[in-house]
Structure formats: structure tokens, C-alpha cells
Chains A and B, each alone.
Chain A
Amino acid sequence: MHENIYLPNLCKIEKITDETPDVKTFKLAFLDESVRNNFTYKPGQFVELSVLGEGEAPFCLASSPTRRGFIECSIKKMGKATQAIHDLLEEGDVVGIRGPYGNGFSVEEMKGNDLLFIAGGIGLAPLRSLLNTTLDNRTDFGKITIVNGARTPKDLVYKYEYETWQKAKNTSLHLTVDCADESWSCMVGVVPKALKEIKPCCDNAVAIICGPPIMIKFTLPVLIEMGFRPEDIVTTLERKMQCGFGKCGHCMVGGIYVCKDGPVFNYAQIEKFKEEF
């Protein structure tokens, strides 16, 4: 970490994969040898990726900390910074990375539980980091169910990994899209509806949700109905973030700095936030 907290480390883009028309995954490697070796992070943490001269924005780390030497971020084209990232960057370019920031998922506490991953669209990125970490030490965890929703089949990200997830031990993958096209064979419908069909069992299970707020809003009651305790429902709060270390004030919800005290919260904590999220 630099003495000046605003200074990024430089990273080279090794590989860019186009997931969907507006989502790209960037594989980055730190230029500085020492940083590359001891850059440690937890799944669910995020970094501030800056295209120097254009802008900076927070992105969760989609790669798993168990696979060393590189980090991956999946970026959807939304605002000024992401537009610059999508239009200007090619393989070999250099970007700035600040971080890792945020509290990340508490993997230790999840050990020994069944895991229910619920992802919506680009929300699969932070979950992929956690998922690959659990698959890399598979024996510590119970049954894994993955429910991944998207608007249309071409909005599904990480299609190339569905194979390995499907074949992993005691793991089931369920895909659902809001509106299907002719080539679509799996479920159709929003994630809460798909959840009702799958009916995952809730005892000794932890549900991890990530996706657009509208999806979280309608999925939470379904999970509560199924018997999930609020402490066992973990989600990430989406807020505007700029500094990433709890000072600039953009991400405040009530007295909490989402970037430093979050972005991962369990539902019991979120209920205590008076401000509606």
C-alpha cells in the first residue's frame, strides 16, 4: 500500500473476454513484482479501477484469491469511467488499481454450511469469486446450489464456466432468463419464481444474493418464507463509491460507510438501516 492513499498501483491488461455486448472481463496483472506477490484479498472485496485521464470506478474482484498471480474484474458499460474502459482499453494497456477495499464475504463462517448462490446479471461476478474459492476447497462446504438469472440468454456471464460448475461435486446449477429466445432450454422467469420451483432447503444453509436492487427486493421475502434466517442471507449493497476507504461520504447509508463497513451485509444488519436501501 502506498503512503499516499489516493495513489493507484499499475496493472497490465493481459486478457479481455467479451461476456456480453456490454460486459467485458479484464484479466489484470500487477506490473510491480512485489505488489503482484503479496496482493491478497477476500472474495466479495472490490478495487477502484482507474483509466488514467478518464475516470475511476469501483469493481468487485471476480477472480478467486485461491488462483494467484492475477485478478479479474467484470465491467458493464454504464457511466463515464466504464465507457472509457470499454472503448479505449485493449490488451496490453495499463490501468490503475486501488484497493482491495470492503469487508468481503466471511468465508470462515460459511464453512460446513450448504450454500445457495443467487445472482442476477452482472451480480454473478462477486459470487464467482466466492464460488471458485469454495470449489477450490470443496470439502469444507456442504451442498452448493447456484441460481443465476439474467434478462435474456445473451446477458448470461461466464458461460464458459457453467460446465465446470455443473460437474463439480454435489453442486447444481439453475439458469433462468426473464425472456427466452428460441435457443433457450432451461427455466424462464424471474429469479424469485425460479427459487420457488427449486425450493432449496434452508436448514444449515447460507444464501448469498447479488444483483440489481429490484431483484434483491423481491427475492428476500421469498427466502424468508422458505425459512432462511435473516442472519443467513448475505448480500452486497450497491452504492456510489469514490474513495473506497470510508472518507468521501458518497456511499453512506445512515451512519455506515458501505465501502468500508460493507459492501457485504447480512439481511439482519440491513433491516436495522432505517434508510430504505
Chain B
Amino acid sequence: MKIINKSEFLGLMEKWISSPGLIAPVNVAQTFRSADKEKNLIVFKKIETKDEVLADYLNTVKPVKDFFLPPSTVFDYERKDEGYNFNLSEVDGKETIIFGLRPCDAKSITLLDKVFSEDSEYKDSNYAKKREKTVLVGLACTSPDIACFCTSMGISPFSIAGLDALIINFKDSYVINTVTDKGKNLLGSLGKEAGREIDEEIKTLEESVKLKIKKTCNTSKNLESSFESEEYWTKVSNSCLSCGVCTFLCPSCYCFDLSDESAKRIRCWNGCVFLRFALMSSGENPRATKKLRYRHRVFHKFKYFREKFGENLCVGCGRCIRHCPVKIDIAEVVNNA
């Protein structure tokens, strides 16, 4: 690990704004809710000036998947004499740095990689190109809230899975932990060796932050037995509104919708909790009730994805609990299944 004082690091960040381009969490709240005193709406945004970048925040509302799997135009086309010619909205392949994402978002990117870039047969070329061209510089999480449960999902507030480098806010300086070679050639040459006792302090700091996380999610439990229990899943999904908040804000939910409009094909987000997600044009809907839909969401995250890829499709970031209009708690649902 290396250590560098804050002002030097911020100076470096300013350089990033111009050279490869920097994306970081910014508070874009203009008038959040008409009466809320705290005006905070934190999202990833392209940075123009240095002071926009936030130092202390819990997490962004929209996860970093919004950058890799954005709701966007896939291609547009115009008629040619014999047919059509397509102009693909290709990724411009420009280098970018994403700073300030939390370890839970970074872990979710490794889960999305399994579906979109590591699938040899059907690889999403745009996604893969963006992944190559982007350097993920995470910021360790020091103040989790009651909805976080990343520790039960195999990661921790300081974990480096999916990151190219991790920055830890340590007293009055930053500790840099470079992970991949992308991270190394961006930050490798910086700061001086941290030395053993700082490593120890970082460890204890990590343990103390871990203790702050009270919520647990028992993922080793075999959900299979509860699949049939009509009564449990009805009780749990009774208050669900079938809106898209949990699936859209979830960093690892990747279901999408392809649709054609006037002169372009667009891909936008979709979620299995919507009523019309599995509705067929013949009018049949295999998942017509809230119970079936919510049960499918939980099983896809905590059973089906694990059977196929070996890991749960959840990183414990707590967004779906924090932003659910009726406070449905997925960790509780899994624990009591």
C-alpha cells in the first residue's frame, strides 16, 4: 500500500479531469423534495470542476451499472435503396476514470462481466469495450447505514474485488491500494510506501467499519424448501407495488428491454417485478401475480444465478431496502425463507 497526502491526490484528480476524463459522485440536488432540508441526490456525473467531487457520502442513488449498461440507443438506421444502413452507436472507446465507487458497486461489475463480457458466444461488444477503457478507482466505505449488508455477501467495505485501485481515507491522507495493472500504471508511481504499522491500522479500521454493519443475510440457506410455500411468499410480497425502484437501482440487476422506435432501436432498463415483463402477446402471463414476480426476483438473485455462475447476484449495497417505497427488506426475506 502507498500513502499520499490529500492535497497532492486532489491535484492529481484535477489532472484527470482534462486528460482521460473523470466521472465521480456529485450532488445534483437542485430542489430535492419541496421540504427536505438536506438536499442530496448523489449520482455519477462527468466532472468539469474539481470542487464538484464529494468527499463524504453514503453511496450514489444510481449504481455504476448506469455507465456500463446505460439505457441508450443501440443503433439507428436510414433507408438505403436496397435496404437499410445501420450506424451503430459504438462506444467511442475513450479512456475514462471512475472515482469514488464503493466496493459493493465494484463487486457488482464482476457479476455483470460474467453475463456480458465473459460470455464467449454472445459477447456485448459495447460493454466489453467500455470495461476495457475504464479505470475503476474505488473509495473505501467508512460509514455504512442500517440497510447495508455487504459483509454477508462475501465482500467488505474495504474489499478490492472488481476495482483497479482502492483509495482509503486515512486520517489526513489517502492510502492507495493498487490492484490491477490498469490501476498500477495510473497510480503506481504515487506516494511513498505505507509501511507495516499503517497496514495494521488500516486493518483495524476495516474491522471497526465492519462492526458497524448489523444487518446479515443468510445466503447459505437452501431456498428450495420455501419455493412451494404459497403463504410465505404472499405475506412477503403483499405490500410490493411492482414498481421498478429495486430492479433499476440494483447494481447487479441486468434485465433490459429492446424496442424499436421511429428510426432507432433502443435498449432500456426493465425488471422482473413489473407486471408486463413476462406478458406474452397472446395475453398469457406466466408471472401475473406479485407473489410469483417477487419470488422469482429473490430466487434469481440467491439461487439461479449462483447455480449458473457460482456467486449470488447481490452485493448487499442496501439500495433496494433504502429506496423501496414500502421498505421491503430482501435480507429479511431471505433469512426467514
Stretch in B48-56, B140-148, B252-260 touching the partner: B252-260
Write out, one digit per residue, whether chain B residues 111-139 have a CB within 8 A of any chain A CB (1) or not (0): 00001100101111110000000000000
Write out, one digit per residue, whether chain A residues 234-258 have a CB within 8 A of any chain B CB (1) or not (0): 0000111011011111111111000
Chain A residues, CB < 8 A from B119: 247
Given the known interface contacts A6-B74, A31-B83, A78-B281, the answer about A252 and B296 at a Cβ–Cβ threshold of 8 Å is: yes
**Interface size (B, Cβ < 8 Å)?**
51
Q: Does B32 contact A (CB under 8 A)?
A: no
Q: Does B200 contact A (CB under 8 A)?
A: no
Are the CB atoms of A247 and B83 closer together than 8 Å? no
Are the CB atoms of A240 and B86 closer together than 8 Å? no
- Docked complex: A38-88 residues within 8 A CB-CB of B: 50-57, 78-80, 82
Contact of A255 among B75, B255, B282, B300 (CB under 8 A): B300
| Min CB gap A15→B, angstroms | 18
- Docked complex: B208-255 residues within 8 A CB-CB of A: 227-228, 254-255
Chain B residues, CB < 8 A from A55: 259-260
Closest chain A residue, CB of each to CB of B303: A255
Q: Does B308 contact A (CB under 8 A)?
A: yes
Closest chain A residue, CB of each to CB of B307: A255
Q: Does B292 contact A (CB under 8 A)?
A: yes
Closest chain A residue, CB of each to CB of B75: A7
| Min CB gap A275→B, angstroms | 7
| Min CB gap B199→A, angstroms | 41
Chain A residues, CB < 8 A from B125: 3-5
Q: Does B88 contact A (CB under 8 A)?
A: yes
Chain B residues, CB < 8 A from A277: 286
Chain B residues, CB < 8 A from A274: 227-228
Are the CB atoms of A255 and B262 closer together than 8 Å? no
Chain A residues, CB < 8 A from B282: 78, 212, 238
Cα–Cα distance between A83 and B278 once the two chains are bound (Å): 20
Are the CB atoms of B77 and A52 closer together than 8 Å? yes
Are the CB atoms of B257 and A242 closer together than 8 Å? yes
Are the CB atoms of A254 and B75 closer together than 8 Å? no
Are the CB atoms of B267 and A6 closer together than 8 Å? yes
| Min CB gap B91→A, angstroms | 10
Are the CB atoms of A94 and B83 closer together than 8 Å? yes
Cα–Cα distance between A12 and B81 once the two chains are bound (Å): 13
Q: Does A173 contact B (CB under 8 A)?
A: no
Closest chain A residue, CB of each to CB of B128: A3
| Min CB gap A256→B, angstroms | 8
| Min CB gap B3→A, angstroms | 42
| Min CB gap A170→B, angstroms | 36
Are the CB atoms of A79 and B304 closer together than 8 Å? no
Cα–Cα distance between A10 and B80 once the two chains are bound (Å): 12
Chain A residues, CB < 8 A from B45: none
| Min CB gap B223→A, angstroms | 11
Closest chain B residue, CB of each to CB of A245: B122
Cα–Cα distance between A3 and B257 once the two chains are bound (Å): 20
Contact of A213 among B84, B121, B123, B284 (CB under 8 A): B284
| Min CB gap B304→A, angstroms | 3
Q: Does B277 contact A (CB under 8 A)?
A: yes
Are the CB atoms of B300 and A248 closer together than 8 Å? no
Cα–Cα distance between A233 and B94 once the two chains are bound (Å): 53
Cα–Cα distance between A253 and B126 once the two chains are bound (Å): 28
Are the CB atoms of B304 and A246 closer together than 8 Å? no
Are the CB atoms of A31 and B122 closer together than 8 Å? no
Chain A residues, CB < 8 A from B267: 6
| Min CB gap B93→A, angstroms | 13
Residues on B lying within 8 angstroms of A by beta carbon are 74-75, 77, 82-84, 86, 88, 115-116, 119, 121-126, 227-228, 254-263, 265, 267, 270, 272, 277-282, 284, 286-287, 292, 296, 299-300, 303-305, 307-308
Residues on A lying within 8 angstroms of B by beta carbon are 3-7, 10, 12, 31, 50-57, 78-80, 82, 94, 96, 212-213, 238-240, 242-243, 245-255, 274-275, 277
